[in-house]
Every structure is written in C-alpha cells, then in structure tokens.
Amino acid sequence: MAAQNGKDLLIKVDMNDAGSFETLAGLRATRISFNAESVDVTSLESQGGWRELLAGAGVRSAAISGAGVFKDASSDERARQIFFDGDCPDFQVIIPDFGVVEGKFQVTAIEYAGAHDGEATYEMSMASAGALTFTAL
C-alpha cells in the first residue's frame, strides 16, 4: 500500500442542503477523529478480575477540524452562517484511497487570526450530530 498525500484529505460542506458539496476553501491541515465511550460492566464474577466492557454500548462520536489560509470564499461564508445559525448540515470527509465519511456535523468553533506581515488564517472544529456513513472508495 502506497502512502497517501495529506492534501487529499478533504473536508466538504453541503452548500445548499441539497447534496451540493464543496471543499472548505484554504485549508492546509485537516483531521478527523472517531471516538467511542466504553461501558464498564465488570463485577465480582468477572474472570480473573479483568475489566469487562459491554459491546455496542456507549456513545460514538466524530470530530473534524481544519486550519488554513482565509480566502473569503463561498464555503467560508457557509461555514460562518452554519455557526451563527446553529445548524447541523451534512459534511463529507474524503480519506484518500480509503473512503468517504458523511453525516451531520455542528460547527463548534471558528477562529480567525492574522499578523501585520502575514496572511489571514482560520481554524474550524466540527462535532458529529447524528449517525455517520462510510462509503469505501
């Protein structure tokens, strides 16, 4: 298996709630993480005193984030509006040569920064807001 380009891990947002996805502009670094809480069901009867976990229980979640150059593109406007409206539209995360994760996410943070001798930058964080799907490429 060959290594994949990091630039090909893309975060896309549904621009009009009709399945028209567009890559968030200007991102240089992107990340997706999956999390699952465990439910401990260990008791005095647990074999050898080892912890036991309840399969399939607990809350599952995902978080996506990105950082890059602020371009003031239509996708930036969409992300800002999602944040201020508190909406949870569909996002897609393209994992190169692996698959596409899709589902509803809430924009939980947007940060803008800039220095007098550099470009304006931004960072975004999103939290899953429902069931996600995975489609293999």
Q: What is the pLDDT of residues 89-101, one digit of tens each?
A: 999 999 999 999 9
Please give the Cα distance from 69 to 27 (Å, whole number). 6
Please give the Cα distance from 79 to 107 (Å, whole number). 7
Question: Can you tell me the mean pLDDT for 79-95?
Answer: 95
1, pLDDT greater than 90? no
Q: What is the pLDDT of residue 51?
A: 95
Q: What is the pLDDT of residue 64?
A: 97
CATH class assigned to 6-136:
mainly beta
Q: What are the respective helix, strand and coil percentages of the chain, to the nearest 5?
A: 15, 45, 40
Domain ranges of the chain: 6-136
Please give the Cα distance from 103 to 105 (Å, whole number). 7
Cα within 13 Å of Cα(48), Cβ side: 1
Predicted TM-score (pTM) of this structure: 0.88
